[in-house]
Structure 1
Amino acid sequence: MQDSATVQDWIGRSETATDVLRAQPARFMQATLDRDSGLVDGDGLPPLWHWLYFLDARRASELGRDAHPRKGGFLPPVDLPRRMWAGGRVRFHAPLILGQEASKRSTILSVREKQGRSGRLCFVTVEHALFQNGEPALTEEHDIVYREDPAPDAPLPTPVMAPVEAEISECVTPTEVMLFRYSALTFNGHRIHYDVDYARGVEGYEGLVFHGPLTATLLIDLACRHRGLPPKTLSYRGVAPLAGLAPFQIEATTEGEVSLVWAKRQDGALAMSAEVTF
């Protein structure tokens, strides 16, 4: 067990960044999703596309085994090798406007160690507060989970089955190009998204892994198109990986002011669940 006092010392650490929300990355994102590239300065940024900005470009010599920046800078020095995007909660205060400068303040909210069925886990929650023209635009709590490498003989986890009834359902067919483009747009070097030998042989996935943030982006996009309204809040949680470039479904249903949305694998297993309020 790592020295918990060491990682707990990271709670409360903050960093700030500024960026101009240029239209070009948003247009490239539209092309990645096979849509017309029509966003221009003055348009509102679609929900969760803020992940295309405020990127952290570390030197190649500062990267770890998985090509993420080595831990111990802003993020705590957790001594577990695998990093996963576990989920988060987002409050949308005002649209982020393309072509204008924005700022982001990030703070480590919590570091929690647990013992799971697959071994040790460490959850790190980071708050990101985004501002534009001095006014709050978005507040996000991002959950990161660190875990051990899988044992060669570890049994596969029992899947949680997705809901069977949906008001709307769309099929997403991942490709290597889609994963490569999203990794490039977010400057995400994590090898599970483009190095199939690493994804299978080291981290134990069935193949290339579909990005968790891209899944969340597709889910809130589906909910907003379904309701025809801008979102107020989003809560989402990764349940099981989407790996191997297998097609999957994104689905939605409504309960009053809430849209329930989820990603469902071909075997019917729940990959990500989310709630969007309007």
Structure 2
Amino acid sequence: MSNELLSSWIGRSEISFDTLPLTLVRRIAVTFGEECPRVGETLPPLWHWAFFQDPVIEELLGEDGHPERGIFLPPIDGRNRMWAGGRLVFDAPLKVGIEAERHSTITDIKEKQGKTGALLFVTVKHNYFQEGQLCISEEQDIVYREPSPPKLSHVAPLKKIEWIDTVCPSSVMLFRYSAVTFNGHRIHYDHPYVTEQEGYPGLVVHGPMLATLLLSSFLKNHSELTPRRFAFRGLRPMMAGHEFKLGGYRGEGKEYVLLAFNDQGIAHQAEIEY
């Protein structure tokens, strides 16, 4: 697709609605082994990713399990799509069981050259409202990359970790997270596909799941703090059934740096302001 045609997708918008039902909140809670909030109580940070889904029939899914491009996101053929990272501002909490809406707009499309080939970055802005109030502002970075062996290079983790939690997401946990977020991407549950078609050594842990685990770990170790801003990015994949660490350290001012890492290095990095 030409740059001119790609640019024509900038400004494309849609509005989604959801009631944040308790039944789905319970399923998220058991997926992460967390306490479930009641109707009217605060939805834990980043759990909103399970809501506002726009389901499509199977005939409109691509081979990788994602909805075909061209419905909301631009139609980029011949490339793999992944959620590379994002930035969020928490203005007010979303409440369980109360109708909310999400306003989404494609704000930017850029082509870059990476180590493995051409990369196309699409930025989507989401604003979440409940009872007339803006609750969350979010920017998602979605990258389309040319098919190539996945990046599994070694990057040494930083030394000054102040706390560490150990996790080992199972294939069942990945399947359940795919289910609660209605994510059909086959790299998270279809072992023959992810190993034979996309070249990964196993099922890939979702980037949003890693971000959620990181933020949850931070809040368990800093229960007195309330997140105001959160930014995250994926650096390399983690595989189901393999143990890794969650930890972090204080940055500048009211900021912490959060890391998901194992012996091979850092997989996910986030910054949080409170």
Q: TM-score range by the shorter chain?
A: over 0.9
How far did residue 165 of structure 1 move?
Answer: 2.4
Distance 2:198 2:17 in 1: 34
Name the Cα RMSD after superposition: 1.4
C-alpha distance after superposition, 1:102-127 (max 9, x if no partner):
01000001111112111111111100
Whether 2:167 is the aligned partner of 1:185: answer no
Residue 4 of structure 1 aligns with an amino acid whose one-letter code is N
C-alpha distance after superposition, 1:223-257 (max 9, x if no partner):
22222222000011110011253111111212341
Residue 262 of structure 1 aligns with an amino acid whose one-letter code is L
How far did residue 158 of structure 1 move?
Answer: 3.5
Q: 1:264 aligns with which of 258, 261, 265?
A: 261
User: Gaps spanning 5+ residues in structure 2: where?
Assistant: none
Residue 261 of structure 2 aligns with an amino acid whose one-letter code is K
Give structure 1 regions of 4+ aligned residues with deviation exceeding 3 angstroms.
none
The corresponding residue for 2:57 is 59
Tell me, yes or no, if the aligned pair for 2:152 and 2:236 is still in contact at 8 Å: no
Residue 118 of structure 1 aligns with an amino acid whose one-letter code is T
Whether 2:15 is the aligned partner of 1:19: answer no
Which TM-score applies when normalising by structure 1? 0.94
The corresponding residue for 2:226 is 230
Residues 115, 206 of structure 1: alpha-carbon distance in 2 compared, 3 angstrom cutoff: same
How far did residue 29 of structure 1 move?
Answer: 1.2
User: Gaps spanning 5+ residues in structure 1: where?
Assistant: none
C-alpha distance after superposition, 1:36-83 (max 9, x if no partner):
4x3210110000000011011100000001010000111011234211
Q: What SS does the aligned partner of 2:212 have?
A: helix
Percent identical: 43
Tell me, yes or no, if the aligned pair for 1:261 and 1:275 is still in contact at 8 Å: yes
Distance 1:253 1:150 in 2: 34
Residues 70-219 of structure 1 aligned to structure 2 (within 5 Å) = 70-150=68-148, 158-219=153-214
Tell me, yes or no, if the aligned pair for 2:170 and 2:240 is still in contact at 8 Å: no
Which TM-score applies when normalising by structure 2? 0.95
The corresponding residue for 1:274 is 270
Paired positions, count: 272
How far did residue 98 of structure 1 move?
Answer: 0.7
